[in-house]
Structure 1
Amino acid sequence: MNRLPDAVNAYFAAANDGIPDEFLAAFDDQACVLDFKRVFNGKEAIGEWSRSEVFGPKVRFVVAEAAGQDGDYAVIATVDGEFDKTNLPDPLLLKHAFKLSGAKIAEVAISFP
């Protein structure tokens, strides 16, 4: 498995450990989250999204695969938590495609693999 940048590791570790401030600190000020068809621009919007979609339902990630090329990183992770799993695959796998700006996350696009 490729070694992931600190910001990407912090994204998953802070989510798993329930630390919203560390999660948000992994993002650039102008970052964008593309969660399927929903778009969240800037740290304030990302903070609101993470409180309702990550920290509220106590989402936990286990990285299954990771690859990096030219500063972009794709991570496939199993996802679990306290959310409605009706009609979702089991196990639930999500792809997180990261783009970095310096040492921070500039964009993460979340989708099915």
Structure 2
Amino acid sequence: MIQLPNAVKAYFSASNEERLDSLMAAFDEDAYVFDDNREFRGIEAIRHWCESDILGARVRFEVTDATEQDGTYAVIASIDGDFDKTNLPSPFLLKHTFKLSAGKIQELHIALPSFGKR
């Protein structure tokens, strides 16, 4: 597995440790997040998303794979937490695709992994 940039590592560790300020510090002020067919633009919208969807659901990530191509980092993580797991596979895996700017997360796309391609 590749070495992940500090902002990507901070996203997962701060989420797991429920440290909102550290989580937000990983994002650029003008960042963009796409999660579950929803878009969040700017730090305040992302803060609300983090509070409700990550910290509010006590989401825990375990990174299982990571790749880098042309400065884009694709991370597969096993997800657990206090959310409805009805009809979800076990383990429940999501692909997080990060684009960085000046060492901070500029874009984050979260989707089901397609294991035939990255």
User: Which interval holds the TM-score relative to the shorter structure?
Assistant: over 0.9
Gap runs ≥5 in structure 1: none
Q: Distance in 2 between matches of 1:80 and 1:35?
A: 16
Q: Residue 94 of structure 1 aligns with which residue?
A: 94
Structure 2 distance, partners of 1:62, 1:104, is: 21
Which ranges in structure 2 are unaligned for 5 or more consecutive residues? Answer: 114-118
Partner AA of 2:73 in structure 1: Y
Asked if 1:36 corresponds to 2:29, the answer is no
| Secondary structure at the counterpart of residue 108 of structure 1 | strand
**For 2:57, what is the secondary structure of its paired residue?**
coil
How many residue pairs match? The answer is: 113
Cα separation, 2, equivalents of 1:27 and 1:76: 19
Equivalences for residues 1-113 of structure 1 within 5 A: 1-113=1-113
User: 1:10 & 1:71 partners in 2: Cα distance?
Assistant: 17
Shift of 1:88: 1.1
TM normalised by structure 1 equals 0.98
Aligned sequence identity (%): 56
> Counterpart of 2:34 in structure 1: which amino acid?
L
RMSD: 0.6
Cα deviation, residue 36, structure 1:
2.6
Deviation by residue 1:56-96 (Cα, 9 ceiling, x = unmatched): 01000000000012210000000000111011111100000
Tell me which amino acid in the other structure corresponds to 2:75.
V
Q: Distance in 2 between matches of 1:42 and 1:14?
A: 19
Q: Distance in 2 between matches of 1:45 and 1:109?
A: 15
8 Å contact kept, 1:27–1:43: yes
Q: Given that residues 30 and 106 in structure 1 are in contact (C-alpha distance below 8 angstroms), is that contact kept between their aligned partners in structure 2?
A: yes
Show structure 1 runs of 4+ deviating over 2 A.
none
